[in-house]
Structure 1
């Protein structure tokens, strides 16, 4: 079955790599990338690109009709650290974009919707270790509140109108291709660049802060696998827990020193520490593994060696 896919927020950290992977699977002309500004050279030259504000439902509908779109991946969002500075703006972007796309799906303009959630839905009262799929969810950040609300809107539109909407709660996602965009787990990306470029790094969370993480390759693979799963295998319509590994900044540094022996890290926690402290240290994603056979490929060792090799090249 051929799909025509529209990606909203394609220039972001996940959108960028997801776009290229989807183009390699479905064909360049079948994946329409969009964002509020132009993407990088690879994105602009490899397939169609449209300037779209993700909160502009009418323009989205116009593009859906123009390209005969069957799937929308809504990735546009204001992330955790940035959202704390602009709460109202973050809520407006994160919520109105989702409700607009869900309405288009309800009215049968789109067949399938993908919308990412995050471990930010969890809060200080959530069990920290091996956080289960169903647990106490009391987020303490603007980003977390919007993701929690979004999960239940997704479930509501599925239950009430039969909308085929699917979602993953991403842990921290680590990539070397696109610099991070204002998230609390950005240190886990910055640390690699600083290791190669400067040989030292000042980390904005403490050395013992353990958080669930995932290499971008696994995040992209999980997203596509969920979207390709049979509807009857997708049993959770709020959002699936997703996991691959968990570690502290100090454990990252130890791994990096296997490649760059003189690498030094200092610690100067800032406002992002409080956000990190409110999140789980590890995630139980057994539901995803059971329902649609999710399996990660990368751990800290294999990810570190892959990232450093690519940055050095």
Structure 2
């Protein structure tokens, strides 16, 4: 068992009507499957005319779809929506975060390693809420793939404003029986992946002197957990890395914070069994598991809310009181 596994608005007129009014054809959904090191696998765009002012247009040329910032009906340029990369976003907490940011107005890169169909479903959910998203396959533990993913976000939307490091895996075993491969694989994805993604994203953010990075840690990295020495060590490393990054990037107006979930309802917790679930609930003062949407709400606040602009280097437990 584990405490947390991270691999785990205004009135509008129809978007098509808005495009037609500006002389564009209605938007289309283009989907293609590409190999790694290439462009995003899927781009789904949607938008609207909020109170008759803001719009999002879609250019379609040679089978490629590209989202562009629109021009308001009064002819004045409007600020672009924030561009966010969410790693491990095809399911669980990552999915909830991607959807929340899409609904909040972000253009979202939905990263996945293997779950392509699930990632496309996340994109569709964001689209249905009026947002814009692309899915992108990349292993966050491989530097070249991380760099390609960040370039894809910039090539598609011109910038990068938010990074959510959520991708993570587990390879559970008691420490005395844990194979080196089990240790290394978890550290490579859960810790080195955060380093690689943050380094690549910060290179862009530092030039713009603006950006927000949110790392998904775990209460396991704060209090430990039997059978998860590799996972606990990696998540504790994420907490230390978050604080170091906050100090290094603060001078460039980049906020770096971490969220540490505890027990969160998921497919995994549904299979725990009544006895294990009861014992887990006894350790939580609120007496229940958290919901992915509760984690996503805090991440959304840290990522886009103006009130979070003076927060950096913080580690925020969302665990129902488990770490008290």
TM-score where L is the length of structure 2? 0.57
User: What is the CA deviation profile of residues 8-49 of structure 1, one whole-angstrom value per residue up to 9, with x for unaligned ones?
Assistant: 11113111222222222216xx11211112042522434321
Asked if residue 211 in structure 1 is aligned to residue 291 in structure 2, the reply is no
Moved over 4 A (4+): 82-85
Matched, 1:150 2:238: yes
Residue from 262, 285, 301 that aligns with 1:225? 301
Note if 1:190 corresponds to 2:271: yes
Inter-partner Cα distance in structure 1 for 2:301 and 2:171? 26
Contact 1:172-1:211 within 8 A present in 2 as well: no
Name which of 205, 210, 216 aligns with 1:116.
Answer: 216
Normalising by structure 1, we get a TM-score of: 0.59
Q: Provide Cα deviations, 1:259-306, integer angstroms capped at 9, x if missing partner.
A: xxxxxxxxxxxxxxxxxxxxxxx234xxxxxxxxxxxxxxxxxxxxxx
Query: Any idea what SS the aligned residue of 1:69 has?
Result: coil
Partner of 2:169: 78
| Distance change in 2, residues 1:160/1:123 (3 Å) | same
Q: Which has the higher helix share?
A: 1
1:283 is the counterpart of 2:283? no
Q: Which runs of 5+ in 2 are unaligned?
A: 1-78, 128-132
Q: How large is the Cα RMSD of the aligned pairs? A: 3.1
What whole-Å deviation, never above 9, does each CA across 1:106-159 have from its counterpart, x for those lacking one?
42347221111111013369xxxxxxxxxxxx9962111111111111111111
Residue 110 of structure 2 corresponds to 33
* Rg (Cα) greater in structure: 2
Deviation at residue 222 of structure 1 after TM alignment: 1.8
Q: Distance in 2 between matches of 1:20 and 1:158?
A: 26
Of the three residues 44, 50, 61, the one matched with 2:136 is 50
Aligned pair 1:10/2:89, yes or no?
yes
Task: Return the match for 1:165 from 252, 256, 261.
Answer: 256
The unaligned stretches of length 5 or more in structure 1 are: 126-137, 181-185, 192-201, 246-281, 285-313
